[in-house]
Structure 1
Amino acid sequence: MTIRVLVVDDQTAVRQGLVMILRSAADVEVVGEAADGEAAVARAAELRPDVVLMDIQMPRLDGVEATRRIVGARLSEVLILTTFDFDEYVFGALRAGASGFLLKDSEADALLTAVRTVAAGEGMIAPAVTRRLIAEFARHSPGSASGVPPAAAERLSTLTPREREVLAQVGAGLSNGQIAARLTMAEATVKTHVSRLLNKLGLSNRVQAAVLAQELRLPEARS
C-alpha cells in the first residue's frame, strides 16, 4: 500500500528537499505540504495522511502543539524532525503523542525507513542513533518529564511475563519482526502483545513504551 505523507517545515528549501526524497520511493506519496503548525493541523484534517513529517520550531504554532492536536484528533501518526539541540521540545512531542523522532541530518534511506516504520504503527525507535537518543532522555529526564505517565510504572505488575519480555525488547529498539525472531513467536502475536501492554500501561504509543523500559532498565530476554 502507498504511504501518504504530509510534510511540515517552515523552511522552503528543507521542505522541498524532504519532498524530493520521499517522492523517490515508489511506496510513498506526498499528499501535501505546510509551513507552520496551524496549517499542518488544517491540512492533516483535510487530507488524513498516514504520516505527518513534522518540524518542531515553526511560526504561529510549534510542532509540539500541532502534534498534540493531530494525534488527539486521531488524524495521523506524527514523525518529528529534530536537531537534538532542544531536549524540552522532544519531551513535549513525546508527551503530545508523537510516534517517532528523526534527526534532521539523517540520510535519505533513514528518512524513508522512519516513514515506513511509523506508518506500520511500530514507532521510530529502530535506528541505533534514535535508540541512544531516547535512552539519553530517559536517563536524564526528571520523573514524568520523559513523557511517560507516572502511573505506567505502577501498572507494570498487570503485564504477563511474556508482555514484560516484549516490553524489554521494545525498549531495546527492536521491530516487531526482530522481536518475533528473538522470542520465537509470530510477528502478529508480537503486535498483539504490544497493543495489549500499551493499553494496560496507559501509554499512547510504542515510543513511550520504549522510554519506560529504558527508565525501568528492564532486562532483555535471551534469544
Structure 2
Amino acid sequence: MKIRVLVADDNSFIREGMRIILHSFEDFEVVATADDGLEAVDYCLTHEVDVALLDVRMPKMNGVEATRRLVEETKTRPLILTTFDDDEYILDAIRYGAGGYLLKNNDPERIRDAIKSVHSGHYVLQDVALDKLKSTMDGASAVPASSPIDRSPFTERELEVMALVAKGYSNKEISGELFISEGTTANYITSILSKTALEHRTQIAIYYLTGKVR
C-alpha cells in the first residue's frame, strides 16, 4: 500500500514541485496539497493521511502549531520540510511530536527516504537540527529539571549521559565531562538504548528533550 502524503507550503512553486517529485516515486500517493497549516490540519481531520510534509512559515497556522494539532488530534505523522533560516522553530516542532526536520534543498531520494522512515515510526533529523538542539542545551545543567522523561528507569549517571547526548556531545566529550572512560560511556549508552528500546543516540537526544520514544 502506498504512503498517503499531504504537502503543505504557501509557496505554490515548492508545493507543486514537491507533489510532482513524490508522484515520481511508486512509494507515495499525494492525497492533497495545502497552502497553510490550518487547511492541512482540517484535511487530516477528515481524511486518512500517513505523513504530512509541513513548511514552517505559513499563514493562518504555521507548521509548528499544525504539528501540535496533528499529533494531538490525528494519526498523521508530521515531517517538517523547511529552510536554514527557520532553525528557531526546531525545538518546538520536535517537542510537539514532529517525526523529523528536513531541509528543502535535499535530493529527492533523501526526502523519499525520510518520509518512509517517519511513516515507519522513526525520527529524521539533519545535522542542522542537532546543532540547534545542542545550542539550546548549552549552558544547561547536566540533568535539567525541564527534561520531561520518566527518570525512574535510569541511574543518575545514565541521566547525565543522556543530557550530554542531547547537547550533541560525542562519546569522547562525554567521557571527558564525566571523568569516565569511553568504554564506560559506550556501556551507559547501550544500557539507555536497551531500557528505552531506541536504536541510536539521535533518538536518545529527542527522547530526553521531548519525553517521547516514538
Normalising by the residue count of structure 2, what TM-score does the alignment of the two structures yield? 0.69
Change in 2 beyond 3 A, CA 1:40/1:153: closer
State the one-letter code of the partner of 2:198.
Answer: V
Equivalent residue for 1:193? Answer: 197
2:147–2:208 contact (8 Å) kept in structure 1: no
Equivalent residue for 1:150? Answer: 146
1:42 CA displacement: 0.4
1:134–1:211 contact (8 Å) kept in structure 2: no
Equivalent residue for 1:74? Answer: 74
1:5–1:28 contact (8 Å) kept in structure 2: yes
- Give distance in 2, aligned partners of 1:40 and 1:98: 15
1:43 CA displacement: 0.7
Structure 2: unaligned runs, 5 residues or longer? 169-192, 210-214
Larger Rg: 2
- Give distance in 1, aligned partners of 2:148 and 2:204: 9
Equivalent residue for 1:4? Answer: 4
Equivalent residue for 1:38? Answer: 38
Aligned runs of 1:47-62 on 2, under 5 Å?
A: 47-62=47-62
1:75 CA displacement: 3.0
Aligned runs of 1:1-223 on 2, under 5 Å?
A: 1-125=1-125, 130=126, 132-142=127-137, 150-152=146-148, 155=151, 158-159=153-154, 193-194=197-198, 209-211=204-206
State the one-letter code of the partner of 1:150.
Answer: S
> Counterpart of 1:105 in 2: which secondary structure?
coil
1:134 CA displacement: 3.0
Per-residue CA deviation, residues 62-116 of structure 1 (Å, 9 max, x unaligned), is 1111111111113310000121213222222112211101101111111101110
2:94–2:206 contact (8 Å) kept in structure 1: no
Change in 2 beyond 3 A, CA 1:66/1:213: closer
Change in 2 beyond 3 A, CA 1:212/1:27: closer
1:149 CA displacement: 8.1
Per-residue CA deviation, residues 158-190 of structure 1 (Å, 9 max, x unaligned), is 149xx99xx89x979xxxxxxxxxxxxxxxx98
Structure 1: unaligned runs, 5 residues or longer? 173-188, 196-205, 215-223
- Give distance in 1, aligned partners of 2:105 and 2:53: 14
- Give distance in 1, aligned partners of 2:69 and 2:108: 28
- Give distance in 1, aligned partners of 2:106 and 2:36: 22
Change in 2 beyond 3 A, CA 1:208/1:98: farther
> Counterpart of 2:89 in 1: which secondary structure?
helix
- Give distance in 1, aligned partners of 2:7 and 2:45: 14
State the one-letter code of the partner of 1:141.
Answer: T
Per-residue CA deviation, residues 101-137 of structure 1 (Å, 9 max, x unaligned), is 1101111111101110100111113xxxx1x223312
